[in-house]
Amino acid sequence: MRRVALVALCGAILAGLAVAIVIESAADHAAPVRPQAALAWKPDSAEALSRQAERLLVAGELSAARSAAKRALEHDPLEARAIRVLGEAAALEGNLASARRLIAEAGRRSRSDVPAHQWLFHQRLADGDIKGALDSLDGVVRTGDTAGGGLMTAMAVEASRPDVMPQVVERLATDPPWRYTFVRIFSAVAAPSRSVDLIAALRETRTPPTTEEYAVVINRALRDGDYETGFLAWLMAIPKASLGQLGYIYNGAFDPATDPEPFNWVLPVNRRLEATIALNATRDSSALHVIYAGVSTPRASVKQMLLLPPGRYRLTGQESSEAIRGDQGALWAVQCAARGVRTMLGQSTPLSAVSDWKPFTFDFEVPARNCPAQWLILMRSAPEASQSSILIDVWYDDLSIRRLDAAPSPRG
């Protein structure tokens, strides 16, 4: 009998534990979305009480919200959400000193309480506490919450100020995981010249700008039609050892390099087009090697942006061909690069037959208006409508441009 009673008692205890576990689980599951239901299961759930307090605060029931928050803290003194609700209630009543103290404590206890860090960010930014605002920004962004984008935009607007940018640069120099996104947002909201100031300052830190960050600033300036500012940002991105290659054309000798685009050679990637800088056995040096093969190959291939002032110019270079099949060849062209303006300024005679290395040249003129930048482009000579199967295998080297009329020295 004793054994039967003992078994029955154990069964009752296990059943009670099972019920308790079910209740605990049900309350925890319901707390984030249905706090009132969770409290019906578990009246002392600190999370459910704090979430109920949040809802009451949004409904404007400050007294009830404060009461629920205090009850949550009675069951769990570390419940950050409840502390933050008390702080927000204090702020709504005009007690900012108490609000800051409470919400700062909530933020300290939980890096994942996004509303606390959002509130602190805006208050600190308004107070001119940039370091504190950056701390709050970092806390929100690292949670992965979408609110981080809005905070970065607000900080980016402030970062344009001369007294704020050094503090922002100091934080970016620590290379936080959100740095590239911030540079992209800053470039979108600030003038191109200020974006250049930002990367120039980062250039002097222990973590200089990445190629991707330079590209953001360069492309932002070019989208605005501010070609000179884009070129200045590009100059910062290339190694000092490469400055000797500056001229009207950059790296016309096609030395292997990874300097950024577009004031360097832009080499496209396409399965019917192969463009590489490779060793040419005949010249025993590197050169540009381009192969068009197949049907419907892109007409334009390699290109480089130029900044030629108005005037008359002559382009010269060396070219050879290993194969030309079809009714097409290849040629170099210069055209205006301004948005909505694609005026052709000049082009070379098409290379349309197999040939050893030989010189080529053509003259062109940059107009005084609507052509602040230009594209130097290697193209197929046939029109886009041609659908015949082709093979164009060409090499180019030693490209250079000189001015034919009186002019200042080339850039650089």
Phi, then psi, of 360 in degrees rounded to 5: -140, 160
pLDDT digits (tens, 9 = 90+) for 311-340: 999 999 999 999 888 767 899 999 999 877
Domains of the chain in sequence order: 19-139 (1.25.40.10), 148-237 (no CATH), 269-403 (2.60.120.260)
pLDDT value for 407 = 60
pLDDT value for 35 = 54
Below-50 pLDDT ranges, the chain: 6-7, 9-31, 33-34, 39, 41, 385, 412
Burial 91-115 (b: 16+ CB within 10 A, else e): beeeeeeebbebbbbbbebbeebbb
8 A C-beta contact, residue 252 and residue 398: yes
Pick from 301, 134, 203, 207: nearest CA to 217: 203
pLDDT value for 25 = 45
pLDDT digits (tens, 9 = 90+) for 19-39: 434 334 433 444 454 455 554
What six digits make up the tokens of 90?
A: 């204090």
pLDDT value for 108 = 82
8 A C-beta contact, residue 367 and residue 343: yes
